[in-house]
A = this chain, B = another copy of it.
Amino acid sequence: MSSPFAPLFAHIARYVPLSAAEADTLQTYLTRQTIARKEHLLTEGQICPANYFVLRGCLRTYLATEKGNEQTIQFGIEDWWLTDYASLDTQTPSQFYIQAVENTEVVVLDRRVQEEVFSRLPQLERYFRLLLQKSTAAALFRIKFIFSLSGEARYHHFNSTFPGFVQRVPQYMLASYLGFTPEFLSKIRAKVSHT
């Protein structure tokens, strides 16, 4: 299969069976989009336009804090869906930004067709239910780590869970994702390399 959506279909197949006819139907609802590094798919105040599946590259969700910093709350790499469900579900302005960390290619499932696709393809609804169960579980684990590990321990845990990922993002983004300052991350790394 040489569809431009092939990696998505492969991902779906890992969760639910999807016939060729169903894949064709789904295809008519999807588009592809390329975003250059630092460009935004979503900006604070905007209604989140779609759900995005990363084909290549890396996205992040962040928010602007009152002190003028960016707080990264989520990364999305290959084979991950990323969106702001709060805004998508209720058609209300988002409090977040979704930005490309690298030059990125995504599959776009527009919010205006999402419910219609689910009605036509119950298997796809199941696929999303299963993914959402996974991400709900992941969010609980994230909260567990935030509250039960020190900053330094969170960094090491993240590194061993996602080896190599540290190289893909600027340290200040990773620091805010892990819940501390870039200066503190710098100190952790200095400590490690002196060992």
Contact = CB atoms under 8 A, between A and B. Distances in A.
B86 A147 contact: no
B143 A142 contact: yes
Interface residues of A, number: 38
Interface string A153-195: 0000000000000000000000010010000000000000000
A143 B139 contact: yes
B179 A147 contact: yes
A14 interface: no
A134 B85 contact: yes
Interface in A132-148: 132-137, 139-144, 146-148
Contact of A71 (B73, B89, B147): B147
Interface of A: 61, 63, 65-66, 71, 73-74, 84-86, 88-89, 95-96, 118, 122, 125-126, 128-130, 132-137, 139-144, 146-148, 176, 179
Contacts of A84: 137, 140
A176 B144 CA distance: 11
Contacts of A96: 140
A94 B191 CA distance: 34
B147 A73 contact: yes
Nearest to A63: B144
Nearest to A86: B137
16 contacts: A63-B144, A63-B148, A65-B148, A71-B144, A71-B147, A71-B148, A73-B144, A73-B147, A84-B140, A85-B137, A89-B133, A118-B126, A118-B129, A132-B136, A139-B142, A147-B179
